[in-house]
Amino acid sequence: MEDTAFDVIIIGAGPGGYVAAIRAAQLGFKTACVEKEDLLGGTCLRIGCIPSKAMLEASEKFREAKDSLGRFGVKVGQVSLDLPAMLQHKDNVVKANTKGIEGLFKKGKIARVLGHGRISGPGTVSVDSGKGATTLTAKHIILATGSKVAMLPDVKPDGKAIGTSTEALAYDKVPKHLVVIGAGAIGLELGSVWARLGAKVTVLEYLNRILPGMDLETAAQTQSALAKQGLEVDRRKIQLTEAIKTLGEHTVPVKLHRDVTAQVRVTVKKEE
């Protein structure tokens, strides 16, 4: 890389990072954006908002064609699912969006640096591309490194039997029975995608409501709409066992489903 001195370096090219990079360039700063993945756009564009919305839209079209167009007097023949084509459509949407960011980077003359970035000193960013390291300097550094999937303690996803939202965006066949742990927005949207495509879907949630953080009335409406699509929400209460009779930290096994057990950490403390 020829030019290594910048006004602004941003580490991470998700919605936080790429917007900051584009704005910095618009304001006349000489800008670089360091990203370790080949595609720009971060979680949102690669494995989050965009692919999940593409799958939601596609699965909704499938469900409409199969179950509800007849009501409107629209007759369709035998409806069947071409899952590889649906996944391809999702990949095309992701590609179009990430290419859009690439275009904006080129327009703004933003240097795109591929590799893992780390602040190695005041005003200095080292980028490890896997083939070697480059050192960049900047007057300003912005960290926009995003977040990671939160795992249950002691559960190791293998990407097949147990996976995260990333795998659930690309199953190569419709699962017979999908158990989603957590009735937040991501679990519900991916659960509803696969329910519409024919999977039995059980969402496990230990709170007495879905979508914590959302207005209660909206959450209740959403739950009944999802139930109509066949999405079952199953509440499991953590049974406090004999083991938890002393103050302190405990790890308790909780049976979530027939053959799924999670280890839950519980802290027992005196009421203040």
By CB under 6 A, name the binding residues for ligand FAD.
Answer: 11-17, 34-37, 42-44, 48-49, 52, 116-118, 144-147, 165, 186
- Cα separation, 193 vs 53, whole angstroms: 10
Nearest distance from residue 36's CB to ligand FAD, in Å?
4
Nearest distance from residue 78's CB to ligand FAD, in Å?
32
**Minimum CB distance to ligand FAD smaller for 54 or for 254:** 54
Q: Which residue has the tokens 């703004």?
A: 108
β pairing state of 260-268 and 248-257? antiparallel
**Minimum CB distance to ligand FAD smaller for 119 or for 266:** 119
Nearest distance from residue 21's CB to ligand FAD, in Å?
11
CA R_g for the chain: 23
Nearest distance from residue 187's CB to ligand FAD, in Å?
9
**Minimum CB distance to ligand FAD smaller for 13 or for 262:** 13
Which stretches does DSSP call E strand in 61-132? 111-114, 116-121, 124-128
Nearest distance from residue 237's CB to ligand FAD, in Å?
27
Look at residues 113, 133, 110 and name the one whose alpha carbon lies nearest to residue 7.
110
| Dihedral sign (CA 73, 78, 83, 84) | negative
For the chain, how many residues are written?
A: 272
**Minimum CB distance to ligand FAD smaller for 108 or for 115:** 115
Which secondary-structure segment (H or E) carries 255? strand 248-257
Nearest distance from residue 242's CB to ligand FAD, in Å?
38
State whether residue 251 is helix, strand or coil: strand
**Minimum CB distance to ligand FAD smaller for 11 or for 24:** 11
Q: Which residue has the tokens 């970035």?
A: 117
Backbone φ and ψ of 164, nearest 5°: -115, -170
- Cα separation, 256 vs 187, whole angstroms: 15
Nearest distance from residue 251's CB to ligand FAD, in Å?
27
For the chain, how are helix, strand and coil distributed in percent, rounded to 5?
35, 25, 40
**Minimum CB distance to ligand FAD smaller for 39 or for 69:** 39
**Minimum CB distance to ligand FAD smaller for 128 or for 154:** 128
